Amino acid sequence: MTPYRAEVRQVVDDVLAPHFGSGTPPETLWTTVSGLGWPFVGVPESAGGSGGDLADGAEIAAGVGRHACALPLVRTGLAGWTLARLGRPIDVVRDGVAMAVAGRGRLTVRPASHGWELSGAVPAVSWLPGAPLLVVATVEVDAAPWTAVTLLDADRVRASVAGGADLAGAPRGRLSFDRVSVTDLMLGPADLLRAVADRGAILRAAAIGGALERACMLLTEHVAVRHQFGRPLRAFQSVAHRTADALLERDLALAAVASAIATADGPSVAARSATAAAARAVTARAAGVVAEIAHQLHGAIGITQEHPLHLVTRRLWAWRDEDGSQRHWERRLGSATLRGEDDVALWALTTTGAQL
């Protein structure tokens, strides 16, 4: 970690540590981070953002995971970045926004006499109902594919949402649109949808990585201070092995996130999509393994309301399936790896991982 990156991490920890588990009302915490410009870190200042790059935004997302905060930070930042790419003002999402990023088959946008019509369903969208919704989908105009983006206000979306909550208690709703009229539709290049999905995957993977760090910290502290038969738990070989398994999963996940960030702004779109999918697949797997081991080694105390472990593991379980399960991202990784690669390049990728 570079000195600059360490400083960013320290600032994030200093701000979020007092709010671990989001005991602070979300509105109060959002006012704090919004005042610091965090939602739009990674969005160019020329577009109204806070500047910085994807790595800076990922560091903040990781901090949200480390401190188990309930904030629509990843979604709002991604929405701002999307609007900036389209040359649109980002202030319309400054107060927080939900986002539905859908490929073909889940949401359709079609021309209508009054503009456009939006139909289809998305099974789980975080921070709905109660927030505006930015929809990113595909549309065909004159037989050519485009990325369609539209912002729907909270009151208009509410009628199309079956409300609920994720495992961490954050709002999550099921979207269902039936020929909803859209008048303000923004069109972008066809590959924008893929770029938005990749960036969202990296930022979510970073948040999961932060939660993995905290879960492993709680785990190693517990097995060090908890004694059984006159010895600390970590002195037992089976406990040491399980602890090592959790730390290995954490380190593999963090390495995958770092690789995705390093590749994101490179010249190869295929490599960007592959590393983004790899980061999400690996962090999704690690979330399940680390949460299982942490609860196993904590025993009954780890499932009590008073213990902080559940604040982290419930977020791991909620976030790992956001925007697709582990299998979804593994399939996406396979598709991204095969897309456009010749046999020589594919063999090099398979044997050395050079492009990842």
Q: What is the CATH number of the domain that holds 121?
A: 2.40.110.10
The CATH number linked to 73 is 1.10.540.10
CA dihedral 49, 38, 149, 114 (to 10 degrees): -90
Tally of domains within the chain:
3
On whether both 309 and 291 belong to a single domain, the answer is yes
Residues 159, 102 share a domain:
yes
End-of-domain residue from the set 155, 170, 188: 188
Could you give the CA distance from residue 136 to residue 192 in angstroms, rounded to a whole number?
Answer: 9
Q: Angle CA(58)–CA(308)–CA(205) in degrees, nearest 5?
A: 20
Do 197 and 336 have their domain in common? Answer: yes
Residues 81 and 22 in one domain: yes
Q: Which residues of 162-199 are buried (b: 16+ CB within 10 A; e: fewer)?
A: eeeebbbebbbbebebeebebeebbebeeebbbbbbbb
Can you give the three-state secondary structure of the chain, one letter per residue?
Answer: CCHHHHHHHHHHHHHHHHHHHHCCCHHHHHHHHHHCCHHHECCCHHHCCCECCHHHHHHHHHHHHHCCCCCCHHHHHHHHHHHHHCCCCCHHHCCCCEEEECCCCCEEEEEECCEEEEEEEEEEEECCCCCCEEEEEEEEECCEEEEEEEEECHHHHHCCEECCECCCCCEEEEEEEEEEEECCCEEECCCHHHHHHHHHHHHHHHHHHHHHHHHHHHHHHHHHHCEECCEEHHHCHHHHHHHHHHHHHHHHHHHHHHHHHHHHCCCCHHHHHHHHHHHHHHHHHHHHHHHHHHHHHHHHHHHCCCCCHHHHHHHHHHHHCCCCCHHHHHHHHHHHHHCCCCHHHHHHHHHHCCCC
The identity of residue 108, as a single letter, is T
Whole-number pLDDT of residue 277: 95
Report the chain's terminal Cα–Cα distance, integer Å.
Answer: 20
Please indicate, yes or no, whether residues 20 and 124 belong to a single structural domain of this protein. Answer: no
**Nearest CA among 86, 336, 52 for reference residue 192:** 86
Q: What is the pLDDT of residue 23?
A: 63
Give 135's strand partners: 100, 150
Q: Which one of 149, 167, 188 terminates a domain?
A: 188
Phi, psi of 97 (to 5 degrees): -155, 150
Residues 131 and 203 in one domain: no
The half-sphere exposure of 226 on its side-chain side, counting CA atoms within 13 A, is 16
Query: Does residue 122 share a domain with residue 57?
Result: no
For residue 51, list its beta bridge partners.
41
pTM, rounded to two decimals: 0.93
| Token pair for 170 | 């954050």
- What count of other Cβ atoms lies within 10 Å of the Cβ of residue 203? 29
pLDDT per residue as tens, the chain (356 positions): 788 989 999 999 999 999 998 766 678 899 999 999 999 999 999 999 999 999 999 999 999 999 999 899 999 999 999 999 999 999 999 999 999 998 656 888 888 888 899 999 888 889 888 889 999 998 888 888 899 999 998 888 887 888 888 998 888 988 899 988 898 899 999 999 999 999 999 999 999 999 999 999 999 999 999 999 999 999 999 999 999 999 999 999 999 999 999 999 888 888 899 999 999 999 999 999 999 999 999 999 999 999 999 999 999 999 999 888 999 999 988 887 776 555 555 666 666 655 44
Q: Are residues 137 and 208 in the same domain?
A: no
**Torsion angle (degrees, nearest 10) of CA 282, 287, 293, 299:** 180
- In contact, 97 and 171? CB cutoff 8 Å: no
Spatial distance between the Cα atoms of 161 and 54, rounded to a whole number of angstroms:
31
Q: Same domain, yes or no, for 84 and 163?
A: no
Q: What would the two tokens of residue 312 be?
A: 């982290």
162 and 200 share one domain: no
Q: Are residues 104 and 29 in the same domain?
A: no
For residues 104 and 145, the answer to whether their CB atoms sit within 8 Å is no
Domain extent, residue 34, equals: 3-93
Q: Are residues 200 and 343 in the same domain?
A: yes
Which residue, of 61, 93, 125, is where some domain finishes? Answer: 93
Q: How far apart, in whole angstroms, are the C-alpha atoms of residue 200 and residue 133?
A: 15
Determine the Cα–Cα distance for residues 128 and 112; give it in Å rounded to an integer. Answer: 27
